[in-house]
Amino acid sequence: MPIHDAFPYPLYLVISERDCTKKHWLTVAEEAILGGVDIIQLREKDCSRHELLQKARELKRLTDRYQIPLIINDAVDIAIEIQAWGVHVGRSDMPPSEIISTYGQHLSVGWSIELMSQMRSEELQHVQHLGISPIFSTATKKDTISTWGITGIRELRNLSPKPFIAIGGMQLANAKKAFDAGANSIAVVSAICASGDPRKASHELKELLK
């Protein structure tokens, strides 16, 4: 899974134990992979470092088995320690330039775009993919600033050729619209994690993106 400018991962699962309300989170991850998820991000917000490291190791074993890239949210040191494929950070995390200067080019770096001003930031050049966040308001993440909507994806598309990951309220009813507006990847939490049948939920989304 080389780190390059393309992003051949149309269906992106963002997982946390808390959001997996019907099944064990590792079962959700495995069923989602079997259903067609292309890439997984571990996003645990209320975990000790020790717990996060353990979870990251468990998920890494699974993603390695299926040769799926694994991204760690926020914790750059843990991403390095477990040899994750990538890391995803936002405006309040370690800046992408610092990730590169501290750890070199070992990680694919994703950056959440919440403000238009970020598109003019020097940081953008150090980033491999952009999380367009959020597209719609969502109960999964309540501390968002504003929403981009489908039109926002189109506007941002004119400003950068980098891979876009659309996140926030993405589900069967709107994923294709986000894709057609210029997103390269659709990231979901609840559409898969809160499903009683993560494999089927993933399969249906993946079919839509073909």
Where is the binding site for Mg(2+), in residues?
A: 74, 93
Contacts of 163 (CB under 8 A, 6+ apart): 5, 6, 7, 128, 129, 130, 184, 185
189 binds, among ligand TZP, Mg ion, none (CB under 5 to 8 A by kind): ligand TZP
DSSP state of 72: E
Residue 78: what are its φ and ψ, rounded to 5°?
-70, -40
Q: Closer to Mg ion at the Cβ: 132 or 205? A: 132
Render 82-149 in DSSP notation, one character per residue: TT-SEEEE-TTS--HHHHHHHHTT-SEEEEEE-SGGGGGSGGGGG-SEEEE--SS-BTTB-------H
Written as six digits, the tokens of 149 are 């909507």
Task: Confirm if 134 and 123 have CB atoms less than 8 A apart.
Answer: no
Contact pick of 17, 19, 53, 90 for Mg ion (by CB under 5 A): 90
Does 202 help bind ligand TZP (rule: CB under 6 A)? Answer: no
Does 44 help bind Mg ion (rule: CB under 5 A)? Answer: no
Task: Confirm if 201 and 177 have CB atoms less than 8 A apart.
Answer: no
Stretch that binds ligand TZP, among 44-52, 97-105, 163-171, 177-185 (CB under 6 A): 163-171
Contact pick of 63, 108, 128, 133 for ligand TZP (by CB under 6 A): 133
Q: Closer to ligand TZP at the Cβ: 69 or 169? A: 169
Site string for ligand TZP, 30-49 (x = CB under 6 A): -------------x------
Contact pick of 170, 175, 186, 205 for ligand TZP (by CB under 6 A): 170
13 binds, among ligand TZP, Mg ion, none (CB under 5 to 8 A by kind): none
CA dist 146 and 137 (Å) reads 8
- List binding-site positions: 41-45, 73-74, 93, 112, 138-141, 169, 189-190
